[in-house]
Structure 1
Amino acid sequence: MVKSLRHRPAWGRGALVTALVAVAATVPLDSGALAATALPAVEPRAETPALHDDDAGGNADADDPAIWRNPADPDRSLVVATAKQGGLRVYDLHAREVQSVSAPAAPGPDDAPGRFNNVDLVHGLRLPSGRADLAVTSDRGSDRLRVYRIDRERSGGPLTDVTDPSAAPVFSSSQEEINEQRTAYGLATWTDPSTGRSYAVVSQRERTRIALLELTPKSDGTVGYRKVRTLDLPADFRLPNGTSWSPCGEPGELPQVEGMVVDPANGTLYAGQEDVGIWRLRADLTGKPQLVDKVREYGVPATYDPSTEECAAGADPGYGGKRLKADVEGLTLLDEGDGDGDGEGDGYLLASSQGDNTFAAYDRELSDRNEYEGGFRVTAASPALDGSEECDGAAVLNEPLGATYPNGLLVVQDGHDAPGDAERPSTGFKFVDLGDVLDAVDD
């Protein structure tokens, strides 16, 4: 089986998907595939202009979005999204681009350029000029965080780079290590209500490590960070039959985390270990992590074939979950309030099940052990407005966004934007009315 699109051949994602669909047509559907097909469907209302990961398209590849609500004028709210080597894109609520921010250039001719992977928001951080909302992104290319102040009325565009120029690499000790690209990858931000301090939780590419970084405003108006602690999730797992299992990958590659989100109601971090499942742990990285749900491939033996860059799977022993098909990707919280004061978040944890193009919804209440509540698919609204496939990142906001999205908004990455050229990888973001999502999950 194909492990993930991280190892897709150079001939492009569209062609790979076409090949997989052709193969799938000759294989009987399993119960998981049937369940995915039966999930309710929602349709997007808008999509961003396509991004192309090639020289002609500026090496831009859509990955992860965040939704910023303009409290003074909700109709003028924004979506900030990563485009990997293409930097950041900022969109209005009609999915029109309002700003493009370039990733930093490589420091030397043989060094890795900037590559923005995940983005999240910090609200009301105290700077010398006053409180400000920030967009924080993981720069996988340089192993650093980049920080941007959000000012909707700024004439040059709403984002201004306020990154401390002396900010150190998150995981690497040298430029040589940075060039190996075991660098800052997934990212989630949170603010501790007891102290008012803001943090970023950052995962390491091709490793199981997660780092807690405190954001540190400087007297010159820039923002840096300091590492508080790290935590390593497991890479090997003991199965019920007494054997040890680890997900298949390239030699030396460990099962990484990308999608992450922190529940502000109780300081709980949810972390998606792509080929394993969803972990629940304290956002301060203390205590013992708990595996909330597993991908269906959990426990399946597989062998990596370097000639094909694929993992050939053996017989399924039946130890995996039922809701997620690897990779588990974008995690986001659908907040429905916390009016009862019990420290339990009311609403859903949404997770992208990348392997079958679906989304799973889990209860946020810890006392219910994050019970599965349902799922949905984002499907085509018209021949010109397709759905979401191979979704990497997602963001949801359950607040009215003016006349455009009075019910709130869900933004999902589309890893295979169509219609498009199969020889030219094409990605983007789909905007979905949150009322449609709630109707689907609550069915």
Structure 2
Amino acid sequence: MRTSFTTLSMIVKQGSGALLPALLLGACATTPEEPAVRLPAVEVPASGETKPVGTVNDDAADDPAIWRNRGDPAASLVLGTDKKAGLYVYGLDGEVRDFAAAGRLNNVDLREVTLASGQTAVLVAASDRGDEAEPRIALFWLDTATGKLRDLGTQSFLASGHRAMEAYGFCMGAPLGEGELARAYVVMKDGTVAESALTEADGRIRAAFTREVKVATQAEGCVIDDATHTLYLAEEDVGIWQVALGAATLVPEALAKVGARDGLVDDVEGLALARGEDGKAWLIASSQGDSAYAVFTLPDGVYAGRFRINGGELGGTSETDGIEVALGDFGPKYPGGLFMAQDGDNAPHAQNFKLVAWDAIRAALKLD
């Protein structure tokens, strides 16, 4: 376990609505804020990129997701949000396969789920910011043969007694109860993370609020490690928290801190988790403040190094919001896995997403 952050209070609420006492993490005495430490970062070139999003002259591209085609790895698909307009599906060649004009979708995730019929399907979900007072989850089926999205509408999941909040970050994890397809985690701008159970009935997907956990300030990036049932959450100006989802009470514990020698310069944005068949796993975080990516070995959270996407014919990335990674064969350019990052400055074009071979990152950082 890493040392807890100091002087930050955490408020945890359970599905019953009972408010538990605030938890003061670390010592009661305050300590001087540590200066930002910019550790060195190795450069890794992008091997591919997507077409730019349709919204120009604005901060629009945000968060990616990856679906791996096990039968034909080179035919895998990647998705990315245009947070002003909707959701894109791309091939690994970067060409657009589909676009859902679904409005202000911020973060996206996908999962292969087993339906009541026994069939498997790819469920795509995203945080919907269309109504800033009522957080919603936008839902889609992904037709992996055609690359097309089927819009399932949006789901509101908070009870009427909840305060108005804006949906911001989003991730999905394995089901934790009978009859569930998955658990969904919507990160609100105020640091609240609301967990919902996603279920299927009569071809419709429902979201039912289960419980929530809160950090003190604005958060967005999150990812679930299904192997350990752990939620990792990025509090933008503070650092990265880990939350054991199997526990009766959700309690954030510190993993890495902005300003310490953890390779993080605020804002801490997207999070991604790489877990191989050999059981080795790494957490990657977008260190937006200096356009780098910090890597931590799991489960202990030991800092393993930093890299930047730079060099090569496609150029680098800067001020990255969302990231994603998936291991396994993705064809000749990405035989060991694929890392994907939003590029905040793709001038003279609109923002897009860069694709990087995981093997290149692993070799550059000498990850065992």
- TM-score tier, shorter chain, comes to 0.7 to 0.9
Which of 12, 32, 35 aligns to 2:37? It is: 32
Helix, strand or coil: the match of 2:289?
A: helix
Residues 399-419 of structure 1, C-alpha deviations (whole Å, 9 max, x = no match)? 10123421211111111113x
Matching of residue 271 in structure 1 with residue 239 in structure 2: no
Matching of residue 49 in structure 1 with residue 51 in structure 2: yes
Look up the match of 1:350: 284
Look up the match of 1:5: none
* Aligned AA (1:359): Y
Which of 224, 229, 236 aligns to 2:206? It is: 224
| Aligned pairs (5 A) from 1:26-425 | 32-33=37-38, 35=39, 38-51=40-53, 53-54=55-56, 61-103=60-102, 114-128=103-117, 130-142=119-131, 143-154=135-146, 157-163=147-153, 167-168=155-156, 170=158, 182-192=165-175, 195=178, 197=180, 198-205=182-189, 207-219=190-202, 221-233=203-215, 235=216, 255-283=217-245, 286-296=249-259, 320-337=260-277, 346-365=280-299, 369-382=300-313, 385-418=314-347, 420=348
Instruction: Provide the C-alpha distance between the structure 2 equivalents of 1:386 and 1:172, rounded to a whole number of angstroms.
Output: 48
Displacement of 1:230 after TM fit? Answer: 1.3
Instruction: Provide the C-alpha distance between the structure 1 equivalents of 2:101 and 2:140, rounded to a whole number of angstroms.
Output: 12
Q: Kindly indicate which of the two structures has a greater share of residues assigned to helix.
A: 1
Look up the match of 2:7: none
Residues 152-190 of structure 1, C-alpha deviations (whole Å, 9 max, x = no match)? 224xx4211124x6x32548779xx87xxx311111101
- The answer as to whether partners of 1:329 and 1:353 remain within 8 angstroms in 2 is yes
| Unpaired runs of at least 5, structure 2 | 1-34
* Aligned AA (1:335): R
Instruction: Provide the C-alpha distance between the structure 2 equivalents of 1:284 and 1:326, rounded to a whole number of angstroms.
Output: 30
- The answer as to whether partners of 1:349 and 1:361 remain within 8 angstroms in 2 is yes
Displacement of 1:52 after TM fit? Answer: 5.4
- The answer as to whether partners of 1:46 and 1:95 remain within 8 angstroms in 2 is yes
Across the aligned residues of Structure 1 and Structure 2, the Cα RMSD in angstroms comes to 2.4
Query: TM-score, normalised on structure 2?
Result: 0.82
- The answer as to whether partners of 1:201 and 1:283 remain within 8 angstroms in 2 is no
CA, structure 1 residues 171+393, in 2 after alignment: closer, same or farther (shift >3 Å)? Answer: farther
Q: Identity rate of aligned residues, in percent?
A: 35
Alignment coverage as a number of residue pairs: 328
- The answer as to whether partners of 1:119 and 1:187 remain within 8 angstroms in 2 is yes
Look up the match of 1:20: none
* Aligned AA (2:281): G
Instruction: Provide the C-alpha distance between the structure 2 equivalents of 1:404 and 1:161, rounded to a whole number of angstroms.
Output: 31
Displacement of 1:323 after TM fit? Answer: 1.2
Between 1 and 2, higher relative CO (CA 8 Å, sep ≥ 6) is seen in: 2
Instruction: Provide the C-alpha distance between the structure 1 equivalents of 2:41 and 2:125, rounded to a whole number of angstroms.
Output: 34
Displacement of 1:129 after TM fit? Answer: 7.7
Could you say which structure has the larger radius of gyration? Answer: 1
Bigger drift between 351-360 and 281-290 goes to 281-290
- The answer as to whether partners of 1:279 and 1:289 remain within 8 angstroms in 2 is yes
Bigger drift between 184-193 and 82-91 goes to 184-193
Displacement of 1:130 after TM fit? Answer: 2.6
Displacement of 1:31 after TM fit? Answer: 8.0
Displacement of 1:321 after TM fit? Answer: 4.5
Displacement of 1:357 after TM fit? Answer: 0.7
Q: Kindly indicate which of the two structures has a greater share of residues assigned to strand.
A: 2
Displacement of 1:101 after TM fit? Answer: 0.7
Look up the match of 1:307: none
* Aligned AA (1:204): M
CA, structure 1 residues 169+362, in 2 after alignment: closer, same or farther (shift >3 Å)? Answer: same
* Aligned AA (2:295): A
